[in-house]
């Protein structure tokens, strides 16, 4: 099922975010993946999901070869 990250994107655009396994609950954020990861680990999360929220959303249609 698709997950709507609209609110997360608006709040964290340009940052790395660490999320719980539900992929909706943000644990921490940072300018680098390492920073977000270390903050999440400090909060007691062993395997947070990391993703980058881009500064701009770009539409892409097609496929790569």
Return per-residue pLDDT of the chain as tens, 65 residues. 788 899 999 999 999 999 999 999 999 999 999 999 999 999 999 999 999 999 998 887 777 66
Say if 60 falls within a structural domain.
no
Say if 64 falls within a structural domain.
no
What integer pLDDT is reported at residue 65 of this predicted model? Answer: 64
In order of 6, 25, 55, 56, 57, the CA distances from 47 in angstroms are 23, 13, 25, 27, 27
Domain carrying residue 13: 6-52
Domains identified in the chain, total number: 1
In DSSP terms, 16 is beta-bridged to 30, 52
Residues 7 and 64: their CA atoms lie apart, in Å, by: 29
């Amino acid at each position: 099922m698709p997950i709507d990250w609209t609110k997360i994107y608006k709040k964290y655009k340009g940052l790395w975010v660490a999320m719980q396994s539900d992929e909706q609950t943000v644990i921490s954020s940072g300018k680098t993946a390492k920073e977000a990861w270390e903050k999440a680990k400090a909060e007691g999360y062993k395997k947070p999901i990391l993703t980058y929220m881009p500064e701009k959303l770009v539409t892409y249609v097609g496929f790569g070869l």
